[in-house]
Amino acid sequence: MPRGDLYPHIAPYETGYLRVGDGHVIYWEQVGHPAGPAVLFLHGGPGAGAGTVHRRFFDPGFWRVVIFDQRGAGRSRPLGELAANTTATLIDDIEILRRHLGITDWLLFGGSWGSTLALAYAQACPDRVLGLVLRGVFLGRRSEVAWFLHGLAQFFPDAHDTFVSHLPEAERDDLLGSYLRRLTDPDPNVHGPAARAWSTYEGSCSTLLPAPEGVASFAYDRAALGLARIEAHYFAHDLFLPEAGLLGGMDRIAHLPGEIIQGRYDMICPPVSAFELAAAWPAARLNVIPAAGHSALEPGIRSALIAAVERFRAR
């Protein structure tokens, strides 16, 4: 297989559902080498869920890959549930899953919100982490949320106009609050279209070049509801992060090796956050991909992620 290409499609060797409390049941799967070093894949969003393509970033002959859908996302149940759905409860879930699978420590691999959760988990449980591979860094700051809700209009005015136009004019002064009300409305005729509008907006801005098939996948009803509802919920609560933010806790993981992969033209998570993270983390290596946006599947990002995982294999 040529270096830098995704590994072939592979099925899990084990799957399951795990009760983690508060009425939540999370889906998990294991792929690759059962006796290999463990790597945990953390999906984005919050609420996006994991897909079969995410298994393909890792050499299945070497890594024991653990993938799970976070609370309310993907195949986890109940879909879109916001009760007891915070960053702290997700960290607890990761620890419950780690103990359930008998894993001592693992490499963390996450992009976008997955990078946020990876950093938060590592800061909470540094002794359980071998290192981190992060992509499209999102530090969960209010400025980053404001960029998503408003700033993207500077580069994607058409997509932003469609996003805003879903709301009646009287509701447009508070995009986040108005969308959250609609996304949590029990009527599918209200929350369904709102979820599709939110998710399509995000998908439209995620790649350097237009990718209609990718945008269509964001609009799929089940995926859209988990992503939009949970993302808006987290945005409204400052991502449930400490007041000092993730940069304020970098002393806890300063010793851990890291690989930061960042698209130069990432519009969802602008590069400034990756640069600020790298400046606060001397043990990390920052790799800016010149012709790439936000998506992990863009060729330059994809190749850099696979190479970064390979460098951990050699440690």
Residue appearing with tokens 């600020």:
276
Residue-range domain boundaries for the chain? 14-141+240-313, 143-237
The overall pTM is greater than 0.85: yes
Question: Is the pLDDT confidence value at 298 over 60?
Answer: yes
Give me the helix-helix angle, 157-165 and 188-204, nearest 10°: 170
The C-alpha angle 121, 258, 97, rounded to 5 degrees, equals 30
User: Would you please indicate which residues are annotated as catalytic (active-site) residues?
Assistant: 112, 266, 294
How does the average pLDDT of the chain come out, rounded? 94
Average pLDDT over residues 32-56: 97
* 20 — pLDDT class (breaks 50, 70, 90): very high
* 1 — pLDDT class (breaks 50, 70, 90): very low
Amino acid occupying residue 132: L
Q: What is the pLDDT of residue 2?
A: 39
Q: Look at 57-66, 76-85, 187-196, 207-216 and tell me which has the smallest mean pLDDT.
A: 207-216
Q: What is the pLDDT of residue 181?
A: 98
Average pLDDT over residues 256-261: 98
Question: Is the pLDDT confidence value at 214 over 60?
Answer: no
Query: How much of the chain is in helix, strand and coil states, percent to nearest 5?
Result: 45, 15, 40
Give 127-168 pLDDT, tens digit per residue. Answer: 999 999 999 999 999 999 999 999 999 999 999 999 999 999
Q: What is the pLDDT of residue 314?
A: 78
Average pLDDT over residues 95-102: 98
Q: Name the CATH code of domain 14-141+240-313 (choices 3.40.50.1820, 3.40.50.300, 3.90.220.20, 3.30.70.1900).
A: 3.40.50.1820
Q: What is the pLDDT of residue 88?
A: 98
Q: How far is CA 83 from CA 60, 71, 76, 78, in A?
A: 36, 10, 14, 10
* 111 — pLDDT class (breaks 50, 70, 90): very high
